A and B are shown apart, each in its own frame.
Chain A
């Protein structure tokens, strides 16, 4: 058997700390950690470990929105003490979201294939449908739909492609009212700040995990109706755009 059991993909969050920003382009480092899975850790005698619980156990569970708001607020406050400016702060929030994206990607795939029990027992992906997106649009739909629903209980509000011929690599995902910003109020001199940079980091992690080199940033684009409307600007790297052309010629969807 080539890899660790699939349910191990949601491995320790704490180990995410070993993921340096320099490692970003590939999701591989964290994968390697998985295979040398910890013989050294003590486990409770009742074996109440993460491996003995079903990964879908928390699938539809809910927690207080206040708890999230408190944690997220504290995360932003903490990050703020260690940065030099708004961009730096957003970068930090982005970096905190990034490892989540890598993990959520695996979780999304696991859940999209594990509806039948046969998919659960198969150790290779060959027997399950090839659901890893190869094309940009498929990937963006995965983010706009399933990822958003997993995180926020609804799909994002819009998905657009840049109309400028100079920036064919730019896509925009819009959330009219990002949940993460609900309880954040930035001081006037920081009006540019958008703490949804955390979500931008998550998107970036999902894209990178899929092999799409990307930079994602969150921008305030308020409208009269939606004062906290946020646009996530997704900029794919040159390598991705080149591959996209090749795949398009080959007729791969």
Chain B
């Protein structure tokens, strides 16, 4: 599928809307609650966010397919395009840039110019959060969960975040393998 066509699907897919600030603030309160529950053990917070995202992703993929009406991607490059231009566009109204492909076409980066989840956010100034917390880590889980439902095992993690003082927000996504047989999803 051509890249422009993908862009068009992302832009033309109609979805019900809510005030963006309600989404942003709700996500913020989730992260804040986790930081409190895990006693500011940010590694655990990252893990929990990833799990929550995974749970979301497993259900979100169905919504994605129903809304966008797209079919199977021919290869991982097309998948990446679909994630950035349709998935993120529909659900977060942003289109991260797909870049930094490895030569074997199994790893790419998503660069986020804008991230609604992180609007109004400043990490706690405790000397650790900026080194340990990946505020938007839920997104990694969402990708992992949703791609698993369409037979792709991937690994995703953030490598930089403007909230940490980095110049960009970048997520690294790697294809581990295509899942051959239908397996029951793991419960998390």
Contact = CB atoms under 8 A, between A and B. Distances in A.
Chain B interface main SS type: helix
B19 A151 contact: yes
Contacts of B123: 12, 14, 41
Contacts of B63: 66
Nearest to A46: B167
Chain A interface main SS type: helix
Interface residues of A, number: 51
B130 interface: yes
A14 B135 contact: yes
Nearest to B31: A14
B173 to A, nearest CB: 19
Interface string A64-88: 1111101111110111001000000
Contacts of B32: 13-17, 99
B29 A67 contact: no
Interface string B100-122: 00000000000000001001111
B86 to A, nearest CB: 12
A179 B26 CA distance: 13
A194 interface: no
B35 interface: yes
Interface residues on B, range: 35 or more
A116 interface: no
Interface in B90-142: 90-93, 116, 119-125, 127, 129-130, 133, 135, 138
A106 B19 CA distance: 17
Interface stretch (A55-63, A128-136, A231-239): A55-63
Interface in B16-45: 16-33, 35-37, 40
Nearest to B130: A42
A40 interface: yes
Contact of A50 (B33, B36, B121): B121
A71 B30 contact: yes
B77 interface: no
Interface string B34-65: 01110010000000100010011001100100
Nearest to A61: B20
Contact of B23 (A13, A46, A48, A63): A63
B169 to A, nearest CB: 9
Nearest to A12: B122
Given A12-B123, A14-B129, A65-B15, A71 B92 contact: no
A63 B166 contact: no
Interface string A85-126: 000000000001101100110000000000000000000000
Contacts of A151: 19, 21-22
B166 to A, nearest CB: 6
A45 B167 contact: yes
Interface string A133-157: 0000000000000000011110000
Nearest to A48: B162
Given A50-B122, A67-B91, A74 B52 contact: yes
Interface of B: 15-33, 35-37, 40, 48, 52, 55-56, 59-60, 63, 90-93, 116, 119-125, 127, 129-130, 133, 135, 138, 162, 164-167
Interface of A: 10-18, 38, 40-46, 48-50, 58-59, 61-68, 70-75, 77-79, 82, 96-97, 99-100, 103-104, 150-153, 179
